[in-house]
């Protein structure tokens, strides 16, 4: 298979282990991968497995920053000179570039600049297909670069790039229509896209995010501490305020437990304040981000994994959270809310327990039930592991994704918007 390029907004990113899993699986199968990131990393912690990725990483800077290109850096350093110099460099390789710029009419200058840069890189490296993660800016750049270079592109749609209030439906429609193939991570997402975008979404396929099950060995549930664990970004859609409320109810009921929250995010101070206001400091601990090996160890020690996710006030919601899948793989019984694609994997009473979103009382009852019933925990954990092995093995799911790359035509019929000022 020809080399492929992954286009992402930032790389690496602490919360996006699913992308790293995917790239590692491609490399294990002998596929050469190149990574292009539109922004540098912003996290302070990274997963250990990043070091196993062999793919070179290229950061496509914005026009104001320019790049190490002799014919560009000799110019007066400002956005306009960098922008036009990059287009001129690209036009040397793609003489029809100027005629294709009408296709960029709906894009901002940074997207056009990064796409021109990317098109040159993929031409020089013999890359025949681009794959972007998230149908937002990474796909904007991939779509335009593929058009400039006359190759195909695809993308994986996840959650925020589909559901958030900031999503431009016409922009997403163009991307769905022009892509050689589109993947999404749950049947819920698939149904939503087809219902909203009709024929433009008819080629979308569901491929679950995969896990490397060789590093997620099933751990028996017996002998675990009465710990409730949740691993996520500290943002509204994760519903952690309801988990803290549920912990307050458990304490009032006299249930023996501790709760650990792993992650960081904009709501950290608000959640800490909630813990203090409810006098839960001895029961609830916010640990901050942790390396993946430590996260897996915490999961393997916990009696329950809590996923109290909600649909946010801005429409944002999760697709299928990787941490929930990892907990299921490790044998940690899960309590989750019945939003988005979660009922596809948490089948209540079989592979976990489901509760309504925003229902702190119901969440507390489900957590208490699992904390007090060892036989139920074991039954749910075994069924959950079986489901993960059948549907979420990364080698199997990455192979399915590569069939989309192989079948992609080398050029796509493109819709041409009217030219307007960039």
pTM of the model: 0.91
- The angle, 0 to 180 degrees and rounded to 10, between the axes of the packed helices 394-407 and 17-28 is 70
The yes-or-no verdict on residue 353 having pLDDT over 80 is: yes
Cβ–Cβ < 8 Å for 180, 143: no
* pLDDT confidence band for 32 (50 / 70 / 90): very high
Q: According to the model, what pLDDT value does residue 77 have?
A: 59
Q: Is the peptide bond before 292 cis (omega within 30 degrees of 0)?
A: no
Query: In the CATH hierarchy, which fold is given to the domain comprising 4-210+397-407?
Result: Rossmann fold (3.40.50)
382-410: per-residue pLDDT in tens?
999 999 999 999 999 999 999 988 877 65
How far apart (Å, rounded) are the C-alpha atoms in residues 57 and 34? 7
Which residues on neighbouring strands pair with residue 284, listed in sequence order?
259
Q: According to the model, what pLDDT value does residue 415 have?
A: 46
- The angle, 0 to 180 degrees and rounded to 10, between the axes of the packed helices 187-197 and 169-178 is 100
Looking at residues 71-81, what average pLDDT do you find?
63
Contacts 24+ apart (CB under 8 A), 51-58: 52/24, 53/20, 53/23, 53/24, 53/27, 54/27, 55/6, 55/23, 55/27, 57/11, 58/34, 58/121
Least confident range from 74-78, 193-197, 375-379, 404-408: namely: 74-78
Q: According to the model, what pLDDT value does residue 418 have?
A: 39
87-134: per-residue pLDDT in tens?
999 999 999 999 999 999 999 999 999 999 999 999 999 999 999 999
SS3 letters across 102-141: HHHCCCCHHHHHHHHHHHHHHHHHCCCEEEEECCCHHHHH
- Ranges of CATH 3.40.50.2000 domains, the chain: 4-210+397-407, 213-392
How far apart (Å, rounded) are the C-alpha atoms in residues 307 and 288? 17
Q: What percent of the chain has pLDDT over 70?
A: 94
Architecture in CATH of 213-392: 3-Layer(aba) Sandwich (3.40)
Helix (H, G, I), strand (E, B) or coil at 38: strand
Average pLDDT, the chain: 92
């Amino acid at each position: 298979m020809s080399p492929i390029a992954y286009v992402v907004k930032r790389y690496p990113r602490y919360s996006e282990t699913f992308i790293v899993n995917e790239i590692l699986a491609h490399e294990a199968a002998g596929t050469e991968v190149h990574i292009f990131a539109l922004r540098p990393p912003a996290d302070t912690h990274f997963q250990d497995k990043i070091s196993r990725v062999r793919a070179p990483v290229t950061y496509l800077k914005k026009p104001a920053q320019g790049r190490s290109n002799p014919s560009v850096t000799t110019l007066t350093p400002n956005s306009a000179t960098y922008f036009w110099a990059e287009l001129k460099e690209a036009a040397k390789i793609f003489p029809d570039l100027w005629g294709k710029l009408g296709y960029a009419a709906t894009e901002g200058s940074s997207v056009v600049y990064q796409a021109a840069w990317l098109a040159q890189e993929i031409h020089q490296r013999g890359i025949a297909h681009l794959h972007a993660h998230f149908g937002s800016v990474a796909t904007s750049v991939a779509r335009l670069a593929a058009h400039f270079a006359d190759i195909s592109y695809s993308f994986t749609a996840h959650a925020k790039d589909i559901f958030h209030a900031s999503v431009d439906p016409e922009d997403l429609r163009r991307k769905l229509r022009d892509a050689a193939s589109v993947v999404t991570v749950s049947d819920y997402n698939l149904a939503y896209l087809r219902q909203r975008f009709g024929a433009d979404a008819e080629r979308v396929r569901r491929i679950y995010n995969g896990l490397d099950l060789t590093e997620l060995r099933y751990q028996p549930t017996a002998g675990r501490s009465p710990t409730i664990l949740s691993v996520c970004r500290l943002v509204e859609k994760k519903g952690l305020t309801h988990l803290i409320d549920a912990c307050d109810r458990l304490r009032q009921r006299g249930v023996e437990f501790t709760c650990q929250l792993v992650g960081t995010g904009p709501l950290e101070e608000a959640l800490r304040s909630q813990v203090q206001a409810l006098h839960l400091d001895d029961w609830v601990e916010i640990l901050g981000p942790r390396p993946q090996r430590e996260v897996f160890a915490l999961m393997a020690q916990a009696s329950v994994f809590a996923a109290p996710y909600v649909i946010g006030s801005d429409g944002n919601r999760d697709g299928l959270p990787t941490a929930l899948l990892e907990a299921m793989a490790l044998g940690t019984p899960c309590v989750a809310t019945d939003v988005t694609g979660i009922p596809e994997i948490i089948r209540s009473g079989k592979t976990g327990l489901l509760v309504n979103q925003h229902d702190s009382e119901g969440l507390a009852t489900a957590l208490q039930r699992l904390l007090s019933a060892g036989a139920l925990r074991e039954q749910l954990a075994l069924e959950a592991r079986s489901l993960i092995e059948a549907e979420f093995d990364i080698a199997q799911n990455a192979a399915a994704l590569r069939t989309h790359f192989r079948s992609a035509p080398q050029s796509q019929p493109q819709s041409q918007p009217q030219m307007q000022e960039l």
